Structure 1
Amino acid sequence: MNIFLIRNIFLVFTIQMYCIFPLFSAESLFTVSEPITLSNEKEQYYITNQVEYLEDPTGKLSIDNILTESIQRGFQKSDNPYTDFDNVDAVLWVRVRIKNDRSVQNEAWIFESWGFDIEKVTFYIPERDGVFYENEAGYGLPFDTRAFPHKNLNQLINVRPGESKTFYLRVHRNYLMGFSFHVRKHDQFISHATNEYFFLGIYYGVLSIVLFFTIYLLMKQREPIYAYFAFFLFSCIWYSLGRDGLGFQYLWPNIPEVNLLTKRILTQLLLVVSALLFANHFVQKLAKDLWVKCSTWSAIVLIILLTINQELGMKINDQLVLVLITLVLLVPIILMVRALIRINQISWAHSFALVCMLIVILQSYASEANFDLFDNAIVNWYFANPVIFAEVIFFSISIFNQIGYLQKKGLEADRDLNIVLREKNRLQDELNNKLKKRVKKRTEKINDLANELSLKNRQLLTANNKLRQLNEQVISENKTLSLSNIELREGLEKTTQAMVLMKGFDFGEFQKIFPDRDACCKFLSELKWANGFHCRKCGYNKATSTKAFGRRCRNCNYNESATSNTLFHKIKFPIEKAFYMLYLSNRKDVSLTLNELSEIIELRRETCWAFKNKIEASKEKIDFNGELNGWETLALVDLESDKEI
């Protein structure tokens, strides 16, 4: 015969006994144990270990059944706040005997239960005629039905000095919970409640401010790390709202069904998943580590499977589950620390944040496994809140440290880029100097040759005049000399043309430096924003790079291309050809006709003419002085500034 059947037989027997024996006054039966005495020395009492419990497996006993002498004898004190660990669905009756030995009159005393998430509790308050007044409250009833608008379950106890009364609570739990009962004088209760709400207000205020600031950064920066951090903050807030009952009091007081979403199984999973995802992304941002990623997702899957098994499958001992979860979480956390140490990015903020994350998760499961970290019930209950608070602060510090680290890397990249650009300019100047020397040397050589040819031509002309009077044989030789003279003249013209066309880079060589539009846009972008970016629309000085080396303002999102507000704005032909025309326009030793230029760069003569006029207009606009590298200055001339923003 099992224990459940024995209990049912015992209950039937006691109900029959109640029907046989007359009911005396309620106070005549309260002789089982010593009452809780209110003395002048104390104004608040922790009475969890002094109240008495009775288990009602069927849940059918009424207050009249409870008052029978046989059932009264069944009440007993529990050696732990959980009263029992077997039948969670059973209804618990709690008997509280209070005796007031205080000398002060007109005092109000309040009974408080910290089990705010009790599904339903019925308070039975004795009246003068032995009748009990009933008052119901609980997590499954609307918040407005409570006698006290407080997150905990409270009841005014009407015990005057010199009186002794017995109160009953009928408790229907929805999980194995630990109870914490207190009796406080009204001013002590008000002080305690005020301090409690004050510190909770600071806690939620700081978390909410950090959450809103994180969402703002997410909207402005579009960085995934802020999304993960916002998800983690929301999980911490939701876990806390479900744990301390403030969500039910302020956010959904008339919809107790929402309390199902604050069950520990949901809030714990949300906290675990969000914390691990954020920590993983935080580490991956600094150091790509496949082991950290795999261990994080493995831990998430294992914890979800353990939780589902505890709810729907073969339930494992809760303390064993706590050990398993501890081992599962230690693997990714240790790997995260190792990855940060490897790149010398581990800091006290990172370390404390990861430790706090582990403590919060384990504390939530420890309370479910009936494992109290401290002897003080208040410390055990609110231990998660300061740890979450510290965790959020440390993670925020870590994010700011990471931002500083990335900014440092960006500055180093900019410094390296500047070094490369300076080296590029140095090489370009060196190349230009070499080309100048080569052109000068070639020109001097051609001039010497031209002078020599001119001298020989004069000598030939003189000889031709002297030999004109000779015979036909001399005339024939003179014709031969004339032909030679013509060939020399043509060679002189070709040499002169080559001298004129000697211009440094030809188009083929120029294309090797600027082969396509991207190369031109990149060079133009470096010239245009060499002194930093300033938005032409709002004046902001921060921007992000866009395609084709343009810039987007981080303040007003104004897009500015590399060619806008330059000489190359809205050109209809390849920009690399326009670059070459601008380069030639600054060469004092080059003078090409439109036909020659059109043939070299393979553009229509009218197109070349139009762009050369645009170049000349830019020279007039800036009073161009003809410096050697002036084509770079001309490239930034904006001929359409009146039309653009």
Structure 2
Amino acid sequence: MGWKLSILLLCFTISTQAQKTLSLKTSQDKYLLGKHLSILPDSLGKLKLKDVTSATHQNKFVASNSNNPNFGLTQTVYWVKINLKNTENEPVLWFLENGYAITHYIDFYVCNASGKTIFSAKGGTQYPFRERLVDYRKNIFPIKIPAKTTYTYYFRFQSKTSMQILLTAWNPIAFAEKSNNELYFWGGYLGIIISIVLYNLFVAISLRSLSYTFYIIYIACFGIIQLSIEGLAYQYIWPNATWWTNNNIPFLILLSGFASVSFTQGFLVTSESKKWLHKTLNVINYINASFIIILLLPYEISIKISAPMALVTLLVLLITGIVRLREGYRPARFFVIAWFTFIFGVILLILKNFGIIPTNFITNNTAPIGSALEAILLSVALADRLKVLTQERDEATQKTLSIQKQINEKLETKVQERTQEIAEKNAELMMQNEEIATQRDVLEQQKIAIEEQHIHITSSITYAQRIQQAMLPKFETIKQNFVDGFVLFKPRDIVSGDFYWFAKLEIPQEDPKMIFAIIDCTGHGVPGGFMSMVGNELLNEIVYQRKIHHPCLILNEMHEGIRRVLKQGETGNRDGMDMSIVTIEPAQQLLRFSGAKRPLLYIQNNQMTLIKGDKLPVGGELVSLGRSFAEHTISFEHPTVFYMYSDGYQDQFGGESDKKFMSNRLRDLIFSIHQHPMQQQKDILSKAHASWKNQKSQVDDILVTGIKLK
């Protein structure tokens, strides 16, 4: 299920020794070129042939110490150089093969002893198959070297798939023999897969079984994945479909995973097993069901999702089979053997790649051999399950007939005796049915009433949200009065207890003032929303009607206003709000700040300063005598950006230890991004909150604002 793309084959090592020339002898069938290569990484991907052949870059080539250089998933372009010499007295023909079939781009160049390029060609799956030099599933570059001559060959590799440089020089005769043997092998493999698919398709149609259907989808997808990895699908099935060739593997991995899990749930009847096991399979299938969406993602992202998911799916399916086998479910025997066979093939491949076991025809093809054996054993498992079900059905039928015979014999003697009792029971059941029907009707009516109430309440809250949104000042109105700014506003519920307020006072016109505040009311949701409306109206009254503009005086008046409106002196009500408020005087280049339990953070000349608010709330205290708010004055003759925020962001639980984000971390984050454009700062803060929160619920309303003054 795509494991071939999820396992790193080998770590690649390099040496700084000078490159030697490899002498080719026609008596040799093939040469593994890995340890004869010199490699130059091009992280920017901008180097051309004329660059890499220059003396500057020639000194940067390093010799390979691996027969199979493997750099994994990387965006780096790799240039490869090798010197090949014909030791014969006549021209010879060799085939250079790259053994990794799904590399995206391969550029090939031949240079003579004087450094002149005498031939070039292109290969890779990003080009239509018809453009290849040799009609073969992997990239083949024929080379003809004159007698007693040395040529230098350059390759440029670029791919979003795994960067594997598996170069081999083949004697044409040996290559033809190898190609024929491979054709026989893959023909046999494809024959097995097609036979299994057709046989089980017939059985699925006959039995109308979803288990067989999902099994067919899994086997078909896995077979196509093998053909795609080996380049056979590109050669024979879709030679002109370059986009599909380069994107089908992640899609088929998740589709095969979805089908295999669905097959397992039906085949092993996991719904009758442990609940955690069945739920785990459901979760995995929800993730695998994203196989359609994954086609929209770039290959380098989709393969990093699908390949680990394939490994997780494989492990969970094996655990499921073992659990059901230990529970005594007989059909699980062949299921477990099939998956162990597949895993054994994977282990052999890993051992071969690490050089622990020899490389030969069997170890080179453990993946298709293991998958074919797995498919056969799963078919045997299906047949065994069908046999078990047939036996159980026959045994149940015989047992039913035996019981029926005994019952009939007893009924012959007791029919008269039971008739009256049955009649009484029937009457009692009818009465119970009538009572149940009555209760059902009552419950249905209650259900309808509750649903209507829910719809009405939700509609009312949603309408309240529209009112609250209309109450908030438009951010464009705020922004056009400053150099730049942002407002990050994320209510926890439909309506919010946090809100922000803005006023521009142009009387007198030569000395306009702007007042900006962020307010965190007690509670959130509907209660917080009511408090925000009260706070908004009080601010309008204090600033516009009573013409009070100093932040400290506005906070004092807000405190008295909340106590008055909520009658806190009489009722003992403790609701209130925390506030940060600034008055900005552009003509004097002054900013005045007061805070009720909320701070102001400003940055000038790359220095961050925190001004804490007074430890006094607005409202919420039963006694208000002897209290007043301090006012701080800040000059913004130099470029200044200031921030005000409620406590919702810093109080969010999350992270690896499920702790609060905390105010220190928020201030550090703001300072690290304060030189970015304000919209970008907002996006970074939003993403950081989402990442910290992860799957947890938002604990409070969130309001963070930033204003650039100069």
Distance, in Å, in 1 between the alignment partners of 2:299 and 2:192 is 39
2:198 pairs with 1:242: no
| Selected match of 2:398 from 411, 415, 422 | 415
Distance, in Å, in 2 between the alignment partners of 1:381 and 1:305 is 32
Tell whether the 8 Å contact from 1:287 to 1:340 is kept in structure 2 after alignment: no
Render the CA deviation track for 1:469-506: whole Å, top value 9, x for unaligned. xxxxxxxxxxxxxxxxxxxxxxxxxxxxxxxxxxxx9x
| Selected match of 2:100 from 110, 115, 125 | 115
Match of 1:339 in 2: 324
- Shift of the 378–123 alpha-carbon distance from structure 1 to 2, 3 Å rule, reads farther
2:377 pairs with 1:391: no
- Equivalent runs, 1:307-326 vs 2, <5 Å: none
Tell whether the 8 Å contact from 2:331 to 2:388 is kept in structure 1 after alignment: no
Amino acid in structure 2 at the alignment position of 1:208: I
Match of 2:638 in 1: none
| Selected match of 1:295 from 280, 283, 291 | 280
Tell whether the 8 Å contact from 1:91 to 1:172 is kept in structure 2 after alignment: yes
Give the CA deviation at 1:228: 1.4
Tell whether the 8 Å contact from 1:57 to 1:87 is kept in structure 2 after alignment: no
Tell whether the 8 Å contact from 1:150 to 1:249 is kept in structure 2 after alignment: yes
Give the CA deviation at 1:214: 1.6
| Selected match of 1:402 from 385, 399, 416 | 385
Match of 1:125 in 2: 110
| Selected match of 1:350 from 332, 335, 345 | 335
Amino acid in structure 2 at the alignment position of 1:405: V
2:152 pairs with 1:176: no
CA RMSD between the two structures: 4.3
Distance, in Å, in 1 between the alignment partners of 2:409 and 2:279 is 49
Amino acid in structure 2 at the alignment position of 1:57: S
Q: Secondary structure at the match of 2:36?
A: coil
Q: Secondary structure at the match of 1:58?
A: coil
2:157 pairs with 1:157: no
- Shift of the 286–346 alpha-carbon distance from structure 1 to 2, 3 Å rule, reads farther
Tell whether the 8 Å contact from 1:353 to 1:392 is kept in structure 2 after alignment: yes
Report the more deviating stretch, 150-159 or 252-261: 252-261
Match of 2:247 in 1: 261
2:84 pairs with 1:98: yes
Amino acid in structure 2 at the alignment position of 1:192: K
Higher strand share: 2
Q: Secondary structure at the match of 2:340?
A: helix
Render the CA deviation track for 1:363-420: whole Å, top value 9, x for unaligned. 99x89xx989867497776332111111101101111110110110121122223324
Amino acid in structure 1 at the alignment position of 2:222: C
Tell whether the 8 Å contact from 1:299 to 1:332 is kept in structure 2 after alignment: no
Distance, in Å, in 2 between the alignment partners of 1:257 and 1:84 is 24
Q: Secondary structure at the match of 2:35?
A: coil
Distance, in Å, in 2 between the alignment partners of 1:47 and 1:377 is 17
2:74 pairs with 1:74: no
- Shift of the 142–48 alpha-carbon distance from structure 1 to 2, 3 Å rule, reads same
Match of 1:628 in 2: none
Render the CA deviation track for 1:526-572: whole Å, top value 9, x for unaligned. xxxxxxxxxxxxxxxxxxxxxxxxxxxxxxxxxxxxxxxxxxxxxxx
Distance, in Å, in 2 between the alignment partners of 1:313 and 1:81 is 27
Match of 1:623 in 2: none
Distance, in Å, in 2 between the alignment partners of 1:303 and 1:359 is 24
- Shift of the 384–372 alpha-carbon distance from structure 1 to 2, 3 Å rule, reads farther
Give the CA deviation at 1:243: 0.9
Match of 1:15 in 2: none
Q: Secondary structure at the match of 1:238?
A: helix
Runs (5+) with no aligned partner, structure 2: 1-16, 427-710
Counting matched residue pairs gives 399
Distance, in Å, in 2 between the alignment partners of 1:384 and 1:187 is 27
Give the CA deviation at 1:60: 2.8
Tell whether the 8 Å contact from 1:360 to 1:387 is kept in structure 2 after alignment: yes
Distance, in Å, in 2 between the alignment partners of 1:270 and 1:381 is 26
* Higher gyration radius (CA): 1
Q: Secondary structure at the match of 2:168?
A: strand
- Equivalent runs, 1:196-595 vs 2, <5 Å: 196-263=182-249, 265-284=250-269, 288-300=273-285, 330-331=315-316, 333-345=318-330, 348-356=333-341, 358=343, 376=359, 382-423=365-406
Q: Secondary structure at the match of 2:203?
A: helix
Relative to the length of structure 1, the TM-score reads: 0.54
Give the CA deviation at 1:48: 1.4
Render the CA deviation track for 1:321-368: whole Å, top value 9, x for unaligned. 96x98677545532431222322516652222132455678999x89x
Distance, in Å, in 1 between the alignment partners of 2:255 and 2:197 is 16
Tell whether the 8 Å contact from 2:324 to 2:332 is kept in structure 1 after alignment: no
Match of 1:442 in 2: none
Tell whether the 8 Å contact from 1:94 to 1:169 is kept in structure 2 after alignment: yes
Amino acid in structure 1 at the alignment position of 2:318: I
- Shift of the 314–151 alpha-carbon distance from structure 1 to 2, 3 Å rule, reads closer
Distance, in Å, in 1 between the alignment partners of 2:182 and 2:93 is 20
Report the more deviating stretch, 38-47 or 352-361: 352-361
Match of 1:34 in 2: 20
Distance, in Å, in 2 between the alignment partners of 1:228 and 1:197 is 29
- Shift of the 377–80 alpha-carbon distance from structure 1 to 2, 3 Å rule, reads farther
Q: Secondary structure at the match of 1:239?
A: helix
Give the CA deviation at 1:190: 0.7
Q: Secondary structure at the match of 1:177?
A: strand
Amino acid in structure 2 at the alignment position of 1:121: I
Distance, in Å, in 2 between the alignment partners of 1:162 and 1:133 is 19
Match of 2:30 in 1: 44
Tell whether the 8 Å contact from 1:295 to 1:332 is kept in structure 2 after alignment: no
Q: Secondary structure at the match of 1:49?
A: helix
Distance, in Å, in 1 between the alignment partners of 2:103 and 2:299 is 24
Distance, in Å, in 2 between the alignment partners of 1:393 and 1:87 is 33
Tell whether the 8 Å contact from 1:204 to 1:237 is kept in structure 2 after alignment: yes
Q: Secondary structure at the match of 2:282?
A: helix
Give the CA deviation at 1:120: 1.3
Runs (5+) with no aligned partner, structure 1: 1-30, 436-504, 516-645
